[in-house]
Amino acid sequence: MAHYQVICLSCQAVQDEAAMTSPAVGCTRCGGPLGFHYDYQDVRWDGRFGRTMWRYWRLLPVPDPTQLVTLGEGGTPLLPSRMLTGARVYLKDETRNPTGSHKDRPLSVAINHARRMGATASFVVSTGSTGISNAALAACAGLKSVVLMTQGTPAARVYPMYALGSQVVEVEGAIDDLIEQVIQLCRRHGLYLSSTSRASNPYQAEGNKTIAYELVEELGRAPDWVVVPVGGGGTLAGLLRGFQDLQRLGHVERLPRLVGVVPRDYNALEVAFQRGLTRWEEVLALPYHDCPPSILVKLAHSYPPDGMEALEAVRACGGWFLSVTDEEALAAQEACGRQEGLYVEPSTGAALAGAARLLQGGEVRPEETVVVLVSGSGFRENFVTMERRPLEKRTTTVQKLETVLLAMA
Amino acid sequence: MAHYQVICLSCQAVQDEAAMTSPAVGCTRCGGPLGFHYDYQDVRWDGRFGRTMWRYWRLLPVPDPTQLVTLGEGGTPLLPSRMLTGARVYLKDETRNPTGSHKDRPLSVAINHARRMGATASFVVSTGSTGISNAALAACAGLKSVVLMTQGTPAARVYPMYALGSQVVEVEGAIDDLIEQVIQLCRRHGLYLSSTSRASNPYQAEGNKTIAYELVEELGRAPDWVVVPVGGGGTLAGLLRGFQDLQRLGHVERLPRLVGVVPRDYNALEVAFQRGLTRWEEVLALPYHDCPPSILVKLAHSYPPDGMEALEAVRACGGWFLSVTDEEALAAQEACGRQEGLYVEPSTGAALAGAARLLQGGEVRPEETVVVLVSGSGFRENFVTMERRPLEKRTTTVQKLETVLLAMA
Q: Residue B1: what pLDDT?
A: 66
For residue B339, give the nearest of A98, A139, A398 by CB distance.
Answer: A139
Inter-chain residue contact B409 with A169, CB threshold 8 Å: no
Q: Residue A245: what pLDDT?
A: 98
Inter-chain residue contact A382 with B160, CB threshold 8 Å: yes
Q: Which residues lie closer than 8 Å to A208 by C-beta, 6 or more apart?
A: A102, A105, A106, A234, A235, A237, A238, A239, A241, A242
How far apart are the CA of A125 and the nearest CA of chain B, in angstroms? Answer: 12
Inter-chain residue contact A51 with B51, CB threshold 8 Å: yes
Interface probe with A: pick from B70, B189, B393, B404, most Cβ of A within 10 Å: B393
Percent of chain B with pLDDT over 90: 96
- How far, in whole angstroms, is CA A115 from its chain's centroid? 22
Inter-chain residue contact A386 with B155, CB threshold 8 Å: yes
Q: Which residues lie closer than 8 Å to A381 by C-beta, 6 or more apart?
A: A157, A345, A346
CATH code reported for the domain at A4-70+103-204: 3.40.50.1100
Residue type, B3: H
Inter-chain residue contact B405 with A158, CB threshold 8 Å: no
Inter-chain residue contact A96 with B72, CB threshold 8 Å: yes
Q: Residue A1: what pLDDT?
A: 67
| Span B78-91, average pLDDT | 98
User: What span, in angstroms and rounded, lies between the C-alpha atoms of A354 and A321?
Assistant: 9
Residues of chain B in contact with residue A95, where contact means CB-CB under 8 angstroms, are 98
Inter-chain residue contact B337 with A395, CB threshold 8 Å: no
Q: Residue A248: what pLDDT?
A: 97
A329-355, pLDDT tens digit by residue?
Answer: 999 999 999 999 999 999 999 999 999
Closest residue in A to B144 (Cα) is A409
Q: Do domains A4-70+103-204 and A78-98+208-388 have the same CATH topology?
A: yes
Closest residue in A to B139 (Cα) is A341
Inter-chain residue contact A160 with B391, CB threshold 8 Å: no
Q: Residue B176: what pLDDT?
A: 81
Domain locations in chain B as residue ranges: 4-70+103-204, 78-97+208-388
Residues of chain A in contact with residue B99, where contact means CB-CB under 8 angstroms, are 343, 379
- Expressed in angstroms, the distance from the first to the final Cα of chain A is 65
Residues of chain A in contact with residue B52, where contact means CB-CB under 8 angstroms, are 77
Query: CATH says A78-98+208-388 is which class?
Result: alpha beta
Label residue B291 by pLDDT band (50, 70, 90): confident
Name the CATH code of domain B78-97+208-388 (choices 3.40.50.300, 2.60.40.420, 3.40.50.1220, 3.40.50.1100): 3.40.50.1100
Q: Residue A193: what pLDDT?
A: 98
Inter-chain residue contact B393 with A151, CB threshold 8 Å: no
* DSSP E strand boundaries for A254-329: 257-263, 320-324
User: What span, in angstroms and rounded, lies between the C-alpha atoms of A324 and A263?
Assistant: 5
CB B157 within 8 A of CB B128: yes
pLDDT over 90 at B205, yes or no: yes
| Span B162-180, average pLDDT | 93
Residues of chain B in contact with residue A182, where contact means CB-CB under 8 angstroms, are 401, 405
Q: Residue A289: what pLDDT?
A: 87
Inter-chain residue contact B386 with A155, CB threshold 8 Å: yes
Q: Which candidate, A136, A123, A126, A117, places its Cα nearest to that of A184?
A: A123
Closest residue in B to A393 (Cα) is B168
How far apart are the CA of A181 and the nearest CA of chain B, in angstroms? Answer: 7
Residues of chain B in contact with residue A168, where contact means CB-CB under 8 angstroms, are 391-394
Phi and psi, residue B190, nearest 5°: 65, 35
pLDDT over 70 at B300, yes or no: yes
Helix (H, G, I), strand (E, B) or coil at A222: coil
Inter-chain residue contact B170 with A394, CB threshold 8 Å: yes
How far lies B225's CA from each of A340, B129, B221, B222, in Å? Answer: 37, 25, 12, 9
- DSSP class of B65: G
Inter-chain residue contact B385 with A71, CB threshold 8 Å: no
- pLDDT, mean over chain B: 96
Inter-chain residue contact B391 with A159, CB threshold 8 Å: yes
How far apart are the CA of B271 and the nearest CA of chain A, in angstroms? Answer: 32
Residue type, B347: S
Residues of chain B in contact with residue A172, where contact means CB-CB under 8 angstroms, are 395-398
Q: Residue A174: what pLDDT?
A: 83
Residues of chain A in contact with residue B98, where contact means CB-CB under 8 angstroms, are 93, 95-96, 341-342
Q: What is the dihedral of CA B95, B99, B101, B107, to 10 degrees?
A: -150
For residue B181, give the nearest of A136, A168, A398 by CB distance.
Answer: A398
User: What span, in angstroms and rounded, lies between the C-alpha atoms of B259 and B373?
Assistant: 11
Q: Which residues lie closer than 8 Å to B276 by C-beta, 6 or more apart?
A: none
Q: Which residues lie closer than 8 Å to A300 by C-beta, 6 or more apart?
A: A231, A263, A265, A266, A291, A294
For residue A169, give the nearest of B120, B191, B404 by CB distance.
Answer: B404
How far apart are the CA of B354 and the nearest CA of chain A, in angstroms? Answer: 20
How far lies B66's CA from each of A184, B44, B47, B61, B226, in Å? Answer: 56, 16, 13, 13, 33
How far apart are the CA of A104 and the nearest CA of chain B, in angstroms? Answer: 12
For residue A136, give the nearest of B172, B334, B341 by CB distance.
Answer: B341
Q: Residue B74: what pLDDT?
A: 98
> Which residue stretches of chain A have pLDDT < 50?
none
Inter-chain residue contact B191 with A405, CB threshold 8 Å: yes
Q: How many CB pairs (< 8 A) connect A and B?
A: 263
Q: Residue A291: what pLDDT?
A: 87
Model ipTM?
A: 0.96
